[in-house]
């Protein structure tokens, strides 16, 4: 192998600095200085990306499994799509944000871009396969050339976790299931004190019409309303009037509406009795639809988690029905943690088939941040491995083949087992490693055990141990695992 022309930078200056290393003999070899002379090489991951070390992955995998369990509970299947799409597949779907799309270099052939979200590839998939009905989840990474703020968990490469129901179904039925499922997921990942803000895109449009907003100003005004969760009314009003040239009296009328929020049935009753929407057939129809939704949410016991909030607007243009956003409070103010809505026209953008859809995306990176912070706060060491048994020898001589035979009988019985990669390992070093790995069971032997064809089985959880005949090893370990609920 030729000598590489690389000068390393110290790892502490790079974006990933921690990792978990199982116990092993220290590495002694250091490279000779001649590499130092070579050209500068920056040892790092690309801007806005990061590695996940085993500790982070342990938290992530548990989180993904938890969420998948919820998806499967509702009968969802999963699909996978390529990490890049033809550029034209993405074109015209993200509005202004299109500038954030990562393009692949034109190396001859097709022009491709990394996926920006999972919804557009899903719509492309449904259109292309002419799927008429599918309930699918998809957990995968997406790419945005945004300005990364790593400390706030904003990356250029990050996971999305989507659930969507595509198909022609009765009014509000899949919509209601989506809201219920968000609640189940947040409960499953132990996010407490959240609220699901809910509104309807067509109700907003009807309100804009009632207030006198010109129709071609609906979307711009809608996107101004969307800022109400971060900015006070005075600023939003200013944007409406000064930037979006809305008549100030119209803006003031809008305020009466967007200030309304409350429990689903209560606010519905309040709007109806106030007569505020009586002049709009559209508004009356949407309120009737919402009443149907609220009944279903009540039947599923989640109406009390929902806040009917006329100020919720959601940024994306493609929503056509209900929209919702789960907001977590208390937990160090992370804000929005799941969001979605109904989009009936997106699939139709790819072909002759129109498949109405509703779904949501879980803010998995934010949940991950919360869980990581919690783990840090609790100060508990996170178990990265799934090892149940550590096999060790007491005497520092070559008994490796004995250990391998013992390990093999455990492996072949499906039991997660490790041992030290040393021919003549030191007894206390092995014990140290076993404890560091947080292994619940240790199998050990010395000269005495070998002679009597026995083994010592150590239960590190309850700090007990017993001598067992060697040929009963697997049965004894299985019994102990059952006893310890492993």
Q: Label residue 314 left, alpha or beta by phi (over 0 means left) and psi (-120 to 50 means alpha).
A: left
Closest by CA to 303, choosing from 178, 165, 179, is 179
Tell the burial category of 262 from Cβ atoms under 10 Å away from its Cβ (0-12, 13-18, 19+). middle
According to DSSP, residue 241 is labeled I
- The nearest distance, CB 465 to a copy of itself, in angstroms, is 22
Among residues 230 and 482, whose Cβ is nearest to a copy of itself? 482
- The nearest distance, CB 319 to a copy of itself, in angstroms, is 10
- The nearest distance, CB 311 to a copy of itself, in angstroms, is 22
- The nearest distance, CB 384 to a copy of itself, in angstroms, is 4
Among residues 114 and 327, whose Cβ is nearest to a copy of itself? 114
Tokens standing for residue 226: 């969307």
The gap from C-alpha 247 to its chain's centroid, in whole angstroms, comes to 42
| Strand-pair partners of 336 | 327
Compute CA distances 410 → 384, 414, 415, 441, 445, whole Å: 20, 6, 5, 12, 15
| Strand-pair partners of 455 | 468
Among residues 232 and 421, whose Cβ is nearest to a copy of itself? 421
Among residues 267 and 410, whose Cβ is nearest to a copy of itself? 410
State the angle between helix axes of 54-73 and 364-378 in degrees (0 to 180), rounded to the nearest 10.
130
Tokens standing for residue 28: 């002694």
Tokens standing for residue 174: 């899949």
Phi, psi for 83 (deg, rounded to 5): -75, -20
The rounded distance, in Å, linking the Cα atoms of 442 and 460 is 7
Instruction: Find out whether 212 and 250 touch, Cβ atoms under 8 Å.
Output: yes
- The nearest distance, CB 357 to a copy of itself, in angstroms, is 11
- The nearest distance, CB 244 to a copy of itself, in angstroms, is 19
The gap from C-alpha 262 to its chain's centroid, in whole angstroms, comes to 29
- The nearest distance, CB 352 to a copy of itself, in angstroms, is 5
Q: Label residue 231 left, alpha or beta by phi (over 0 means left) and psi (-120 to 50 means alpha).
A: beta
According to DSSP, residue 240 is labeled I
The rounded distance, in Å, linking the Cα atoms of 157 and 154 is 9
Question: Helix or strand or coil: residue 442?
Answer: strand
- The nearest distance, CB 271 to a copy of itself, in angstroms, is 23
According to DSSP, residue 372 is labeled H
The rounded distance, in Å, linking the Cα atoms of 18 and 32 is 26
Tokens standing for residue 277: 């929407």
- The nearest distance, CB 436 to a copy of itself, in angstroms, is 12
Among residues 236 and 443, whose Cβ is nearest to a copy of itself? 443
Among residues 11 and 479, whose Cβ is nearest to a copy of itself? 11
Among residues 405 and 464, whose Cβ is nearest to a copy of itself? 405
What is the gyration radius of the CA atoms in the chain, in angstroms? 29
Among residues 282 and 344, whose Cβ is nearest to a copy of itself? 344
Among residues 76 and 207, whose Cβ is nearest to a copy of itself? 76
Among residues 129 and 447, whose Cβ is nearest to a copy of itself? 129
- The nearest distance, CB 299 to a copy of itself, in angstroms, is 4
The rounded distance, in Å, linking the Cα atoms of 369 and 154 is 11
- The nearest distance, CB 182 to a copy of itself, in angstroms, is 13
Among residues 176 and 312, whose Cβ is nearest to a copy of itself? 176
């Amino acid at each position: 192998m030729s000598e590489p022309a690389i000068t390393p930078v110290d790892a502490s200056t790079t974006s990933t600095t921690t990792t978990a290393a199982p116990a092993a003999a220290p590495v002694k070899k250091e490279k000779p200085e001649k590499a130092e002379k070579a050209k500068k090489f920056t040892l790092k991951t690309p801007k806005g990306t990061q590695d996940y070390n085993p500790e982070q992955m342990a938290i992530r995998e548990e989180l993904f499994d938890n969420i998948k369990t919820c998806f499967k509970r509702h009968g969802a299947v999963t699909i996978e799509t390529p990490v890049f799409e033809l550029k034209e597949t993405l074109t015209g779907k993200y509005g202004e944000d299109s500038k954030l799309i990562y393009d692949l270099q034109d190396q001859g052939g097709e022009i491709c871009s990394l996926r920006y979200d999972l919804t557009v590839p899903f719509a492309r998939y449904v259109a292309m396969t002419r799927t008429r009905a599918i309930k699918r989840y998809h957990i995968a990474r997406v790419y945005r050339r945004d300005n990364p703020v790593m400390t706030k968990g904003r990356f250029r490469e990050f996971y999305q976790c989507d659930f969507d129901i595509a198909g022609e179904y009765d009014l509000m039925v899949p919509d209601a299931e989506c809201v219920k499922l968000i609640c189940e997921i947040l409960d499953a990942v132990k996010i407490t004190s959240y609220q699901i803000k809910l509104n309807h895109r067509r109700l907003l449009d009807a309100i804009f019409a009632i207030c006198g907003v010109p129709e071609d100003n609906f979307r711009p005004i809608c996107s101004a309303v969307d800022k109400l969760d971060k900015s006070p009314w005075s600023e939003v009003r200013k944007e409406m009037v000064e930037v979006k040239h809305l008549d100030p009296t119209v803006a003031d009328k809008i305020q009466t509406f967007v200030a309304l929020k409350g429990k689903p049935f209560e606010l519905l009753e309040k709007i109806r009795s106030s007569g505020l929407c009586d002049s709009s057939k559209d508004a009356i129809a949407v309120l009737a639809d919402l009443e149907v939704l609220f009944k279903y949410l009540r039947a599923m016991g989640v109406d009390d988690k929902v806040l009917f909030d006329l100020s919720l607007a959601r940024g994306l243009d493609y929503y056509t029905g209900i929209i919702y956003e789960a907001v977590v409070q208390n937990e160090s103010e992370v804000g929005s943690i799941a969001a979605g809505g109904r989009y009936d026209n997106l699939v139709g953008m790819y072909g002759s088939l129109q498949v109405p859809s509703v779904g949501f995306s879980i803010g998995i990176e934010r949940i991950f941040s919360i869980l990581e912070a919690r783990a840090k706060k609790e100060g508990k060491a996170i178990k990265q491995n799934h090892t149940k048994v550590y096999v060790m020898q007491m005497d520092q001589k070559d008994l490796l083949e004995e250990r391998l035979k013992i390990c093999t009988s455990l492996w072949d019985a499906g039991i997660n087992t490790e041992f030290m990669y040393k021919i003549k390992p030191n007894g206390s070093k092995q014990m140290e490693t076993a404890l560091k790995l947080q292994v619940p069971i240790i199998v050990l032997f010395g000269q005495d055990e070998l002679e009597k064809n026995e083994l010592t089985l150590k239960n590190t959880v309850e700090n007990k141990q017993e001598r067992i005949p060697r040929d009963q090893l697997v049965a004894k370990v299985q019994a102990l695992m059952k006893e310890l609920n492993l």
